[in-house]
Amino acid sequence: MFDLQNIRDQFPILSQKVNGKDLVYFDNAATSQKPISVLNSWQKYYTEINANVHRGIHTLSQLATEEMELSRRKIQKFINAKNDFEVIFTKGTTEGINLIAYSLTNLIKENDEIIISYLEHHSNIVPWQMLCERTGAKLKVIPMDENGILQLDFLDENLSEKTKIVSLNQVSNALGVINPIEEIIAKTRANSNAMIVIDGAQSVPHFKIDVQKMDCDFFVFSGHKMYAPMGTGILYGKEEILRTIHPFHGGGEMIATCSFEKTTYADLPFKFEAGTPNVGGNIALGAAVDFMESIGQKNIQAHEKALLDYAQKKLLEIEGLKIYGEKANRTGVASFNLEGIGIASDVGMILDKLGIAVRTGHHCTQPIMEFFKIAGTVRASFAVYNTFEEIDILVEGVKKAQRMLS
């Protein structure tokens, strides 16, 4: 049974007041709040088994190692990776994409082509631009239409033997648009030998992921958007590719042998996990997986779809309000502006005074904003603990902002 009040009771932060009003938290695409079970997991590590992992013979080190590796196996199951060693701990999505882009450098040559989309977060643009600068490769961009829907005819015309990497998000952080990943991967496989990178930062919190069924080569996501601590994330990579590419960081833990003459690398996944890991955070990421699975990902998806449908309906009743990507298949996000009303941040500041947390600005997607010829949007983004009553409060807040700014 889906018990929304029970879910909300697990998030202490939701019971506080902000600016004298009950907190309404709609900034989940930036970061989600954390349930007690995740906070307790993190605290338990630091109060009971704090030690560095791997190679330690003492009890605390072994206990910490067991807990972190248990978390890795939970995540393996969560995304249906074939092997646990295909699951690499990172600081988040941005680091994961940078790791891939750097590690693939020696495989990319001048005039090779990398394809991304117009809907990308800057973290899925800049690392590929840097790779192009290092290698002389060329960056190509899948265009979108006025609804934020990618124009996939571009792939039919541009995929070729020159295409070495196709990298795009599964869900747009700025608009909430769900990209047709299955179709894109099928086209890529049929028309090139490109490696496929999927940014799952905004999809993992909202629906079930199966990397084997998806048949991507890499899949990256962040922990802090799916109820885990900040500074946590995952890079999944197919075993055969991870074994052939170079490490991103060098140092402790990632070596098999090290001498002044030569270093050999550790086996997977440690080859890509140099230095002391975020042990407490990685363990808590496993607890976040437990939290989501205790509710059920189908239940999460159904509730959040109902929230988005209701929010869109109520917001569009406001005269002069425009939702970007309104007609696209979306999840988790309503990104909007009030026509003729100053800038998005003015609306956001008024909502904040009413206890409503939203994100305003370009959302690290300046190309999208330039496409719509705007500086930014007001973005309300939803999580499993949000309610329909909170959406009503948001709508009344937007109406008040409209009156004040007119």
Phi and psi angles of residue 389, each rounded to the nearest 5 degrees, phi first: -65, -35
Q: How confident is the model at residue 55 (pLDDT cuts 50, 70, 90)?
A: confident
Is there a shared CATH topology between the 4-27+296-405 domain and the 39-293 domain? no
CB 237 within 8 A of CB 110: no
| Ordered alpha helix ranges (H), 136-228 | 153-158, 181-191, 211-214
Q: Which one is the CATH code of 4-27+296-405: 3.40.350.10, 3.40.50.12780, 3.90.1150.10, 3.40.50.300?
A: 3.90.1150.10
The rounded distance, in Å, linking the Cα atoms of 296 and 290 is: 10
pLDDT tens digits, residue range 141-150?
999 999 999 9
Give yes or no for residue 363 having a pLDDT over 90: yes
Return d(Cα 364, Cα 208) in angstroms, integer: 25
Predicted TM-score (pTM) above 0.75: yes
Cα dihedral 364/365/367/368 (nearest 10): -150
Q: What is the mean pLDDT of residues 190-214?
A: 98
Tokens 């800057």 correspond to: 122
Question: pLDDT tens digits for 98-119?
Answer: 999 999 999 999 999 999 999 9
Mean pLDDT value of segment 70-89: 98
Residue 242's contacts (CB-CB under 8 Å, 6 or more residues apart) are 86, 88, 268, 269, 271, 272
Instruction: Choose, from 132, 216, 258, 364, the residue flagged as catalytic.
Output: 364
Q: Are 359 and 30 in contact (CB under 8 A)?
A: yes
Amino acid at 300: I
Helix, strand, coil percentages, rounded to 5, for the chain? 45, 20, 40
* Pairing, β 321-323 against β 333-338: antiparallel
- Mean pLDDT for 290-295 is 98
Question: How many angstroms separate the CA atoms of 326 and 322, rounded?
Answer: 8
Give the residue extent of every domain in the chain. Answer: 4-27+296-405, 39-293
CATH architecture assignment, domain 39-293 = 3-Layer(aba) Sandwich (3.40)
Q: Which carries the bigger pLDDT value, residue 205 or residue 55? A: 205
Catalytic status, residue 364: yes
